[in-house]
C-alpha cells in the first residue's frame, strides 16, 4: 500500500504571500507587455513604426519630413499653392506629435517608477496603461486628421497616384522581408515572428 503523507499545515500568511507573488508576476508581465506595445507602436513596421504607412511622415525631425514631403509632391506634380498648404499641415501635425511623443516619454518614465518601486501598485499600473492607450489614440487621431486635411488639398488623381506608389512600396518591402527571411533560414537562424 501507498503511504499517505499528512498535509503540512500552512502558516497563517503563506497564502497571502503566494497571492501577492502571483499578482506581482501578473503586474510585471502586464507592465512589460504595455511597454513593449508602446515601443512597438513607436518603432514597429513601416516608416518609423506602428504600421501607419504614409501617416508617419509627420513623426520625426522637420528636415526629414520636409524632404520626404517634397519627394512625394514632386511625383504628384503638385502646384505651388498645394505645396504650401500641405507643408503647413505637415508642420503643424509634426509639432503636435512632437509634444505628444514627449508626453509619452514621461508616461514611460512613470511606468518604470511604478515597476521598480519596492511595492508595485497594480491600480497605478492600470491607470498608466489607460493613459498610454489614450495617448497613442490621440496621436493616431492627429495623424489621421493631417492626412484628411492633405486629402482635401490634393485632387482625386493625385490621391490615386499616392495609392499606387504605396502599393509599389508595399510590394518592395514584402520582397525585402522574404529575402531577409530566406537569408536567415540559409544561415540557420529562426525567422522573426509573424503578426
Residue 79 lies in a domain: yes
Alpha-carbon distances of 191 from 39, 70, 124, 171, 173, rounded to whole Å: 21, 36, 37, 19, 16
pTM comes to 0.59
Q: What is the pLDDT of residues 15-62, one digit of tens each?
A: 554 454 444 444 444 444 444 444 444 433 333 334 444 444 555 544
pLDDT digits (tens, 9 = 90+) for 72-123: 888 888 999 999 999 999 999 999 999 999 989 999 999 999 999 999 999 9
User: What CATH number did the domain enclosing 81 receive?
Assistant: 1.20.120
Please indicate, yes or no, if residue 21 is contained in any of the structural domains.
no
In a domain, 149, yes or no: yes
d(CA 125, CA 137): 18
Q: Contact, 113 vs 181, CB < 8 A? A: no
Looking at residue 190, its pLDDT comes to 62
Task: Count structural domains, the chain.
Answer: 1
112-158 pLDDT, tens digit per residue, is 999 999 999 999 999 999 999 999 999 999 999 999 999 999 999 99
C-alpha to C-alpha distances, 167 to 54, 133, 149, 159, nearest whole angstrom? 11, 29, 22, 13
User: Judging by beta carbons within 10 Å of its beta carbon (0-12, 13-18, 19+), is residue 133 exposed, middle or buried?
Assistant: middle
In a domain, 186, yes or no: no
Give the structural domain span for 105: 55-154
For residue 130, the tally of other CB atoms under 10 A from its CB is 11
Count Cα neighbours of 53 within 13 Å in the Cβ-side half-sphere: 12
Amino acid at each position: 500500500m501507498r503511504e499517505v503523507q499528512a498535509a503540512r499545515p500552512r502558516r497563517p500568511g503563506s497564502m497571502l504571500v503566494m497571492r501577492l507573488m502571483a499578482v506581482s508576476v501578473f503586474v510585471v508581465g502586464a507592465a512589460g507587455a504595455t511597454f513593449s506595445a508602446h515601443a512597438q507602436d513607436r518603432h514597429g513596421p513601416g516608416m518609423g513604426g506602428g504600421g501607419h504607412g504614409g501617416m508617419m511622415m509627420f513623426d520625426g525631425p522637420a528636415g526629414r519630413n520636409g524632404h520626404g514631403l517634397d519627394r512625394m509632391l514632386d511625383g504628384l506634380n503638385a502646384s505651388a499653392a498645394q505645396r504650401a498648404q500641405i507643408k503647413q499641415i505637415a508642420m503643424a501635425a509634426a509639432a503636435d506629435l512632437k509634444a505628444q511623443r514627449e508626453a509619452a516619454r514621461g508616461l514611460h518614465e512613470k511606468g518604470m517608477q511604478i515597476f521598480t518601486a519596492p511595492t508595485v501598485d497594480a491600480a497605478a499600473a492600470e491607470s498608466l496603461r489607460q493613459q498610454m492607450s489614450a495617448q497613442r489614440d490621440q496621436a493616431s487621431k492627429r495623424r489621421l486628421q493631417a492626412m484628411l486635411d492633405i486629402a482635401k488639398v490634393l485632387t482625386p488623381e493625385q490621391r490615386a497616384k499616392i495609392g499606387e506608389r504605396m502599393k509599389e512600396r508595399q510590394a518592395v518591402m514584402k520582397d525585402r522581408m522574404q529575402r531577409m527571411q530566406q537569408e536567415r533560414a540559409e544561415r540557420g537562424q529562426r525567422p522573426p515572428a509573424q503578426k
